[in-house]
Structure 1
Amino acid sequence: MSALRGVHGRPSRLAWVVSGAVIALALTACSSGPEKPKPAQLAPVAALMGTTVAWSSQVGASHAALAPRAVAGRVFAAGSAGTVVALDASTGKDVWRLNLAQPIAAGVGSDGELAAVITQGNDLVTIRDGQEVWRVRLPARSFTAPLVAGKRVFVLTADRTVRAFDGQTGARLWVQSRPAEPLVLSQSGALLAVGDTLVVGLAGRLAGLNPLNGSIRWDVPVATSRGTNEVERLVDVVGPVSRVGNSVCARAYSAAVACVDAGRGTVAWAQPAQGATGLHGDDRLVFGTESDGRVLAWQRASGERGWEVDRLKHRGLTAPLAVGRVVAVGDSQGLVHLLSREDGSEMTRMTADGSAILVAPVLAGDALVVQTRNGGVYAWRPQ
């Protein structure tokens, strides 16, 4: 398929990169199936709860690997052309703003002080107080925001390699690699800290690493590759993941949803699922959106189905965010839908600048924050 493109890494770890959208287009082109389904028509808004726009900002045109991050009273965001900002989560005003003058491939990761992004030229760049601190050239591309934690910066690259760098100096601390599959997704994966363990998605598996030296503590499957060709066998873990304590629930692309005990390194349950975006949840339920636009809830403890709604089918939904009594999802038409956490019924919906919302909303204090394709960063608060 001509839509595939190579990862710029070591020749021995050469892989191919493909996005979920490219896969869908390629499969459609090879068939004589029906036209792409039209987005479901929406009923008049329920308006069962009130919201108001708290603030908005602009970072420039964006893409799906640039998710905002809210931490320590700030919202960190980036635009694809090179702008990186730290916004005050209460007011939306700039704490600092920096233009790297280079296209950005992935980010932003931050611990509230040090921020990190990855450029399309494979540079890992760190920023503090609006000033570049250090940069390191990576040997492969990355589509996952760096993780800044414990005075270290961790990076997951598309060649199935995890790298750790000293947060102060940029010195490389360790590298952990695994054999690369022929295809990898060009979308965000899983990279997070759970206690003293670094949890990372590697192909269709979750692995727990020692953050001090990169050694593997445990490695469990979320899904197993199946199918007759490389596209059908693609089961990368996609972000974001839902973490409550040691319970980490993740999605393997278009294959399964599973919850893992990150303390023991064991799979609690796994269920077949056909989604391409990550998960969110609480201590009772895990929420996700399927590729056809259904929104599902699973019991976190058992994996049993909680509820399902299909009135948002084919609207290009983001991964969800569970907050308060609602679950928030964005769509490709530029709307944010607030659903009841109990049964998925509509509570209300909002619109930003009319361009697609590509990544899951985030919670910043008491505000719900989204970033649009056109680069608008919008925060709403309940009334």
Structure 2
Amino acid sequence: MAFSLFRQIPTWASAAALVAVLAACSGPSKPVPKDLGANIGLIGVKTAWSAQLGAMESSAQPHVVGSQVLLASAKGIVTALQGETGSVAWQLDVGTPLVSGVGSDGQTAAVMSEAGELIAMSSGKVLWKQRLGALGLTPPLVAGARIFTLTADRTVTAFDAASGQRLWQLQRSSDPLVLGQAGVLLAVGDTLVVGVAGRLLGVNPLNGASRWEAPVAVSRGTNEVERLVDLVAGVSRLQANVCVRSFQAAVACVNATNGTMVWNKPAAGTTGLGGDAEYVFGTEVDSKLIAWSRVSGERLWVSEALRWRALGTPLAVGQSLVVGDNAGVLHFLSRADGAPMDRATTDGSAILGVPVLVGKTLIAVTQKGGVFAFRPE
């Protein structure tokens, strides 16, 4: 895999970062995927509703809070849709282009702007804005009356959710290049879990003190691009068991209570992981689907049915596995062996991030800003 596009990220304050933007899995000639053939239709997936919210940035992962799904358009419109019906629960124009998805605890929501600002919202209005040191593609985490951010210079910052006061900051030395994708930022019990370069860190959310570190991948290679090992968004979590991917290097499961490595396996994917109590699922750069044992990391099966379709992050739903491609198709596969079971189409543009569940409704978002909800018969 090679990067076909680099761009200079604007800098704010003293921090600067060059972000490598993954444009395509390109080589001398891009392989052509095989024809999908007739849809088997074993599940009977039906469209429940659809909506159009305007073009989305590639990092704009939908966020579920209760019965609602929250989305941010590139132009700066933040929308909450009712998962069951698709009706608009609330909508707010924050007045500036956005580059991240939405984070929310149900009371306060937050997004990252193209101008390097963290924007907090509540009750249909903007509460406050805070200028950050670098661009942030990772959706903010809102938890415990605080808002946590991860920016491209590998800095983690905590803010008071009500006032916007900066509470603490954790910064690690940054490589000249960082990845132009959302990273890992989540809460596990009373620990903030964050991906910094090739490491997963456990951080005290009250003061930013490090509790543990788990190395997922070590930087190697002959140039800055080959040495990129950032952890990418799309985490499979089962209680304290957190499974993550390091870009083009490895997949691993870590005990987030103490940072103990459960297992670590080499893998060449660029998107996040899905999973359940038995499996961890991921796609490689050539769109092979792989299932690993959650307990041991043993490779349980590999499916090549969707090779070269630029697959995103899989979602485990009951006995099915759902994954979107760059042509706007949702593929429903057997969780047991990856065999095709059904598929559904959207608007022809790439499915962003991982589909989400709101109750029994499956929701996928496309790059054109289409929101599509499906239910099995």
Give me the TM-score of the superposition, normalised by structure 2.
0.96
Moved more, 43-52 or 116-125: 43-52
Task: State yes or no: 1:21 paired with 2:15.
Answer: no
Q: Does 1:172 align with 2:175?
A: no
Contact 1:59 1:84 (C-alpha < 8 Å) held by counterparts: no
In 1, the alpha carbon distance for the partners of 2:13 and 2:130 equals 16
Deviations 1:77-136, CA, capped at 9 Å, x for gaps: 111111110111111111101122311011211112211111100111112232111111
Change (3 A) 1:247 1:44: same
> Does 2:375 match 1:372?
no
5+ long unaligned stretches in structure 1: 29-33
Q: 1:3 is matched with which residue: 6, 16, 40?
A: 6
Q: Deviations over 1:230-277 (max 9, x none)?
A: 111101000111100110000000000000011121111111100000
Deviation at 1:7, TM superposition (A): 5.2
* Aligned match for 1:297, one of 278, 287, 291: 291
Q: Structure 2: how far apart are the matches of 1:15 and 1:118?
A: 16
1:258 lines up with 2:252 in the alignment: yes
Mark the runs of 5 or more structure 2 residues left unpaired by the alignment.
none
Per-residue deviation at 1:353?
1.6
1:134 maps to which of 128, 139, 143? 128
Which amino acid in 2 is paired with 1:5?
Q
Q: Give the match for residue 31 of structure 1.
A: none
Per-residue CA deviation, residues 11-43 of structure 1 (Å, 9 max, x unaligned), is 4x5331111227x56xx5xxxxx3111233212
Confirm or deny: 8 A CA contact 2:177 2:224 kept in the other structure: yes
Does structure 2 retain, via aligned residues, the 8 Å contact 1:199–1:208?
yes
Is the aligned partner of 1:330 residue 2:324?
A: yes
Q: Residue 55 of structure 1 aligns with which residue?
A: 49
Looking at structure 1, the residues matched to 291 and 10 of structure 2 have their Cα atoms a distance apart, in angstroms, of: 35
1:9: Cα distance to partner? 4.4
Secondary structure class of the residue paired with 2:23? helix
Summarize deviations over 1:269-309 as a string: whole Å, max 9, x none. Answer: 11110000000101110000111011110001100001110
SS of the residue 1:227 aligns to: coil
Establish whether residue 268 from structure 1 lines up as the match of residue 262 from structure 2.
Answer: yes
Q: Does 1:72 align with 2:66?
A: yes
Give the deviation of 1:166 after TM superposition: 0.8
Out of 129-138 and 278-287, give the one that drifted further.
Answer: 129-138
**Residue pair 1:7, 1:17 contacting (<8 A) in 2 also:** no
- Quickly say closer, same or farther: Cα 1:148–1:72, change in 2 above 3 A: same
Whether the 8 Å contact between 1:65 and 1:187 is mirrored in structure 2 is yes
Seen in structure 2, the aligned counterparts of structure 1 residues 62 and 109 have a Cα distance that, compared at 3 Å, is: same
- Does residue 80 of structure 2 align to residue 86 of structure 1? yes
Matches within 5 A, 1:218-367: 218-367=212-361
Structure 1 runs, 4 residues or longer, greater than 4 Å off: none
Write the deviation string for residues 196-244 of structure 1: whole angstroms up to 9, x where unpaired: 0000000011000001111000011111111111111101000111100
SS at structure 1 position matched to 2:342: strand
Q: Which residue of 1 aligns with 2:146?
A: 152
Which amino acid letter does the alignment assign opposite residue 3 of structure 1? F
CA distance in 2, matches of 1:107, 1:63: 8
Confirm or deny: 8 A CA contact 2:9 2:135 kept in the other structure: no
Q: In the alignment, residue 17 of structure 1 is paired with which amino acid?
A: V
CA RMSD of aligned residues (A): 1.4
Distance 2:123 2:300 in 1: 44
